[in-house]
Amino acid sequence: MAHNDPLRPALGWFLLLDGGLLALIAMVIMPSMAARIRRTTPLPSDRVLRTVLLAAIITHLGEGIAAFAMAHRRGRDARAWAIQTTIVGFPSLRLLSASTAVGDE
């Protein structure tokens, strides 16, 4: 791994968080799917699902922006950290927060 490459969160984080986001996206763009799920499982209204999805998107974008700034200050690959953190969220941001600046390692 190159010195500036982002550390990778465990695969489980990607599966759990991104899998949940993909399921939420599917239920929002296909309300019939959410309706089928509601037959057997309590599920919030379509409006609540849309609100949760919007909040998740805004949160992930904010985390990506924060990762970009933090990685840049530490001399790391800001673009790579921002992309990874936007995709997986807080596990990536936690890894970046715990990392040291390039040259201090």
- Per-residue pLDDT tens for 38-87? 999 999 999 999 999 999 999 999 999 999 999 999 999 999 999 999 99
Buried b (16+ CB within 10 A) or exposed e, 1-15: eeeeebeebeeebbe
Give the confidence band of 1 by pLDDT, cuts at 50, 70, 90: very low
The model carries a pTM of: 0.85
Read off the tokens for 80.
Answer: 């790579």
